[in-house]
Structure 1
Amino acid sequence: MDVSEINIPGDTPGIEWRLPVIRFKGNDPAAPKVYIQAALHANELPGTALVHFLCGKLRQAESEERIAGDITLVPQANPIGAAQSHFGELQGRFDLGSRTNFNRDFPLILVRDRQELLDGLDDYPATDRLKRELIHMALGADLVLDLHCDDESLQYAYIDEAFWPEAADLANALDMEAVLLSDGESTAFEEAVGFAWKYEVPGERKAKLPGKLSVTVELRGRRDVYPGMAEKDAEGLLQFLIGRGVVNGGAAGDTTFSGPAVPLDNVEIVRAPQGGTVLFHHDIGERVSEGELLATIVTRPGFAEGDIDIRAPQDGLLLTRTSDRLVRRRGDLMKIAAEQPSKAARKAGTLED
């Protein structure tokens, strides 16, 4: 195991960020190379806990000479966001300086131009420099996992259709309860990696990328940081690596996935029509039917005539839910993985900012 740091100078004098990187050297040049990062949204820590336990398992495998492919781990991928605290609350999703989501605006380049990501780094602000360092490391791998989480949520993933259904082995290994098939039309980290592979030959777009994988894994909710969960997820991820030939020893697991795998167009994002106190009638993991009562917004406490009922737009699986109980007008309440396309208009790309 090799441990190093990438130094990222701050944008004001006296500031410097340090990005720890853990590497395991494989003994088979033909084996897939892996890149795994966690906490790009710095307040999403289930992935950091997973990598902590996974690292222990990989150290054991290394001592037994079972690591075939190179593995790179970045347990806390965003030291800039981790230092952003506003009135006592960590603000890890958006850069407070530029107001940009840390998981947006990654460079869209070709694989052959990978080295250019590191050219002239001193000309870029710290957040852009961080993004260029991260995607440079990722583009040296075949299997790329970006570990995130939602608010209150089931375990699910965003997987580009170019990697499906081959990626069903990952969904099964991590006991995912749903897969959202993305269109690859954004500048989020995992889609920027996929872009580089799809357009490896200039002017040609590959529809399928066998043997490759770039995925955003949503490891339940932000509060789901427990040793038992992290240990189980780490073991599942290890089994995925064994199945893909990255780590030797043990039989490959089941590669089938029985949960729903739906396009992003089938995701219903239920929003609050007015602000108020939200009373949920259903929990994540429950299946709901069209017209079923999902939540009530209490807009005028003490006056029932001000209550607003929120009903399911169609049948589906209640995938996520906000942890806020005082919601703003048009604030997101929940996501439903539905059986049919939503009637709501949606632009290509990510579901949310």
Structure 2
Amino acid sequence: MDVSEIIIPGDTPGTAWRLPVLRFAGRDPKAPKIYVQAGLHADELPGTALLHFLAERLRQAESEGAIAGDITIVPQANPIGAAQSHFGELQGRFDLGSRTNFNRDFPLVSIVDRAALIEDLDDYPATDSLKRQLLHMALGADLVLDLHCDDESLQYAYLDEAFWPEAADLAAALDMQAVLLSDGESSAFEEAVGFAWKYEIPGERQSRLPGRLSVTVELRGQRDVDPMLAKRDTDGLWRFLALRGIVRDEKIAPAEFAGPAVPLDNVEIIRAPEGGAVLFHHTIGDRVAAGALLATIVTRPGQPDGSIDLQAPQDGLILTRTSDRLVRRRGDLMKIVCAKPSKAARKAGTLEN
């Protein structure tokens, strides 16, 4: 294993950020190359735990000559966000300086312009320099996994429909409960990677990308950080590496993905019409019918008509749920994966900021 560090100069005197990068050299030049990062949202740690155990397993495989394809791992992809706290609480999703989501505003460039991403880095603020260097590393691989988590959540993934159904092996290996097929209209990391490949010939869009993969993996919820889950996820990612020929393990057998794979338009986002205390009647993993009572919001405790009931707009699987119990007006409460499109209007791009 080769360990290096990328130094990102800070924007104020006396500060700099260190980004450790772990690399395992493959023995087969024809094998796929993979890039995996975690912690782009610095307060989302299940992926960091997974990669800690995966690196241990890869070191053993390296000693046995069992690594076929090049593997690059960035276990903590956002040292800037990891240092941001507000009144003692980590603020790892949004940059406090620019108020921008750390997983937005990645450059949308063609793969032919990859080298330009790391030219003149001193001209960019630290957060933009970080994003450009992460994207540059990712575009040196064939397969790119960005490990995140949701609030309270089942295991699922976001990926561009250009990679489906080829990516069903990853969904099966990691025992995902659902796959959400995006329309590739945002500047999130995994979509910026896909954009670079789709527009390899600038101005000409490819609709299918065989042998490629860029995916956001949601490893359950923020509090699902423990050794048993991390090791189980490690086993799943190892299965994927073996099935794609990146590591050699003849004991691995393919599995079938049994969950739904739906476009983002088929996700119902349940929002609070008013602020108050939320009382959930269902949890993640429940299948609900149209009209089922999902939650009660207590808006004026103890008063007549002091609560609001929320029903399911259609049949579906509850994929995520907020961990907040005091919610704000228009705050997201649940995501429900459905067989039919939602009637709610949605702009192309990501589901949330």
- Structure 2 length as normaliser, TM-score? 0.99
Corresponding residue number in structure 2 for 1:241: 241
Superposition RMSD on alpha carbons, in Å? 0.8
Q: How far does residue 202 in structure 1 lie from its aligned partner after superposition?
A: 2.1
Structure 2 counterpart of 1:193, one-letter code: V
Rounded to whole Å, the distance in 2 between the matches of 1:56 and 1:252 is 19
Structure 2 counterpart of 1:91, one-letter code: Q
In structure 1, the gaps of 5 or more residues are none
Rounded to whole Å, the distance in 2 between the matches of 1:32 and 1:304 is 63
Q: How far does residue 66 in structure 1 lie from its aligned partner after superposition?
A: 0.5
Corresponding residue number in structure 1 for 2:117: 117
Corresponding residue number in structure 1 for 2:164: 164
SS of aligned partner of 2:305: helix
Corresponding residue number in structure 2 for 1:267: 267
Per the alignment, do residues 304 and 59 of structure 1 end up closer, same or farther by CA in structure 2, a change over 3 Å counting?
farther
Corresponding residue number in structure 1 for 2:205: 205
SS of aligned partner of 2:217: strand
> Which consecutive segments of 4 or more residues in structure 1 shift more than 3 A?
none
Corresponding residue number in structure 1 for 2:313: 313
Corresponding residue number in structure 2 for 1:214: 214
Q: How far does residue 303 in structure 1 lie from its aligned partner after superposition?
A: 2.1
Structure 1 counterpart of 2:328, one-letter code: R
Corresponding residue number in structure 2 for 1:330: 330
Corresponding residue number in structure 2 for 1:190: 190
Rounded to whole Å, the distance in 2 between the matches of 1:166 and 1:216 is 15
In structure 2, the gaps of 5 or more residues are none
Rounded to whole Å, the distance in 2 between the matches of 1:106 and 1:157 is 19
Rounded to whole Å, the distance in 2 between the matches of 1:343 and 1:173 is 33
Deviations 1:116-147 (A, max 9, x none): 00110000000000000000000000000000
Percent identity (aligned): 77
Match status 1:293 vs 2:293: yes
Rounded to whole Å, the distance in 2 between the matches of 1:104 and 1:77 is 14
Rounded to whole Å, the distance in 1 between the matches of 2:250 and 2:307 is 56
Deviates more, 1:249-258 or 1:216-225: 249-258
SS of aligned partner of 1:22: strand
Work out the number of aligned pairs and report it: 353
| Matches for 1:45-84 after TM superposition, within 5 Å | 45-84=45-84
Corresponding residue number in structure 2 for 1:35: 35
SS of aligned partner of 1:231: helix
Structure 2 counterpart of 1:150, one-letter code: D
Q: How far does residue 253 in structure 1 lie from its aligned partner after superposition?
A: 3.0
Structure 1 counterpart of 2:172, one-letter code: N
Structure 1 counterpart of 2:321, one-letter code: R
Structure 2 counterpart of 1:280, one-letter code: F
Corresponding residue number in structure 1 for 2:135: 135
Deviations 1:177-226 (A, max 9, x none): 01101111110000000000001122221111111000000000000001
Rounded to whole Å, the distance in 2 between the matches of 1:268 and 1:93 is 23
Rounded to whole Å, the distance in 1 between the matches of 2:304 and 2:235 is 50
CA contact 1:240–1:253 (8 Å) conserved in 2: no
- Structure 1 length as normaliser, TM-score? 0.99
Structure 1 counterpart of 2:282, one-letter code: H
Q: How far does residue 60 in structure 1 lie from its aligned partner after superposition?
A: 0.8
